[in-house]
Amino acid sequence: MKKLLSLMVVCILVLSLAACGGQQTPPPASNDTEKPAEETPETPEVTRDPVDLVMGTGSSGGTYFALGGAMSNAWNSFLKDEQITVTAQASGASVENINLINAGEMDLGMAMNNVAANAFAGTGAFNAPVTNVSSIGVVYNEVYQIVANAKTGAKNVEDLKGLTMAVGPAGSGTVGLTEKVLAAAGLDIDKDIKRQSDSFGDAATKMQDGHIDAAANVLAVPASSIIEMATVMNIAYVDISDEILATIQASEPYFVRKVIPAGTYKDQAEDINTITCKAALYCRADLDEETVYQITKAMYETNAEVAAAHATGKEIQLEGALEGITTPIHPGAARYYQEKGIEVPDNK
C-alpha cells in the first residue's frame, strides 16, 4: 500500500513538471544595439523687426543740428545688429521736439531740461502737461550766449533795449530763455526790442550783413555760428549779471553760472559771465523698453566716435548722465543705468 502511494506521488510530480515546462516563457531577446538618444530641437533665434526712429535736432548753425547728425551716424553703426536705425531731422529744437514726441510724430529729440520741466508741468510754452514723453539722459551743457555788433556798445542785457535782435529760432528753448533774461533785466521781449526769429546760422549771416544788431544763442562752447561772426566782424559779448541769474533761479533752479574764459572767441579779451543748463535726450514714453535700452547704450558707448565728428561729443558721459533730469526716466534707460551701477531717481 505504501509502495502504491509513493508511485502515485511520483507520477503526479512528473506530470506537474512536464506541464510547467510546456508553459515556460522564453527569456526576452537581448538587445545589444542601444537606441539613439533623441536630439533636443534647437531653439529658434528670436529676431526683432527692424526699428526705424526719427530724432529731432535743431536748426542749421546750431549745436543740436550738427551734433544730432554725428550721433545718429555713430548709433546706426553701433546698432546695426539690433536692426535699429536713427534718422536725424532738423527742427525748431527744444519746444518743437517735445511737442512732436508727445504727439507721436517723432521718436527721439534733444531739448533743454528746463523746457522739459515746463512741458511736464504744462507751463511756459506748453498749454497742458505732456503725457507721452520720457527722459533718456544728459547730452551736454547748454550755454546761453548773447552777442552784439560792437558798434552798438552793448555790454549788458540792459544795453539791448531798442536793438533789432534775433531771439532764437521759432519753437526753440532759446526764445523762452531770452524772454526770461530780458524780463529779469526789466525789458519786454515784444516792446523793448525789435525781435527776429532766425536759425542760428541765419542770425550769423544777418549780423554780418548788418540786418540785425544782436543775437541770442543757446549752444555749446565754442559755437560755430559765433566763430563765424567773430571772424568777419567786431562783436561784443554780453554779460548776464548775478542779479539776472538770481531772478531766473527763483523759478527755474536748473540754470547756473557759466564763465566762458577769455580767448575762447576771436578778440574776446575778458571772461564772459553767462548761464548754463543741460541738453538732454527725450523719447516717446510708449517706445518699447528694449529699443530705449539699446539707444541709451549706444548714446554713452559711442561718445568717442561722436566726438571725432563733433567736439561736443566729448561731453556725452555716463558721469552726470542724470544730473539736472527732473522728469520721468524711461524704463529702458533706467535698466541701462542700473546695469552700470548708477542710481536712478524715482521721478515718475
DSSP character string of 240-274: PPHHHHHHHHTT-TT-EEEEE-TTSSTT--S-EEE
8 belongs to a structural domain: no
Q: What is the pLDDT of residue 205?
A: 95
Q: Which residues of the chain have pLDDT under 50?
A: 1-35, 46
Identify the DSSP state of 48: P
| Angstrom distance (rounded) from CA 27 to CA 18 | 19
18 belongs to a structural domain: no
CA–CA–CA angle 63, 153, 221 (5° rounding):
20
Q: What is the pLDDT of residue 6?
A: 45
4 belongs to a structural domain: no
Contact 212, 165 (CB under 8 A): yes
| Parallel, antiparallel or unpaired: strands 256-260 and 272-284 | antiparallel
Among 63, 91, 133, 73, which residue's Cα sits nearest to residue 315?
Answer: 63
Q: What is the pLDDT of residue 24?
A: 44
236 belongs to a structural domain: yes
Task: Give the C-alpha distances (Å, rounded to integers) separating 30 from 34, 38, 73, 196.
Answer: 11, 22, 69, 98
Q: What is the pLDDT of residue 170?
A: 86
What is the pTM assigned to this prediction?
0.78
pLDDT in tens, 214-263: 999 998 899 989 999 999 999 999 999 999 999 999 988 889 999 999 99
Q: Where are the alpha helices (DSSP H) in 260-330?
A: 289-301, 303-309
pLDDT in tens, 21-40: 444 444 444 444 444 555 55
28 belongs to a structural domain: no
Question: Sign of dihedral through CA atoms 86, 310, 209, 218?
Answer: positive
320 belongs to a structural domain: yes
Indicate which CATH number applies to the domain containing 321. Answer: 3.40.190.10
Q: Which cell numbers in the block locate residue 233?
A: 566782424
Total domains present in the chain:
1
335 belongs to a structural domain: yes
Range of the domain at 147: 51-339
175 belongs to a structural domain: yes
Residue 143 sits at φ, ψ, to 5 deg, of -125, 125
Among 70, 54, 139, 81, which residue's Cα sits nearest to residue 305?
Answer: 70
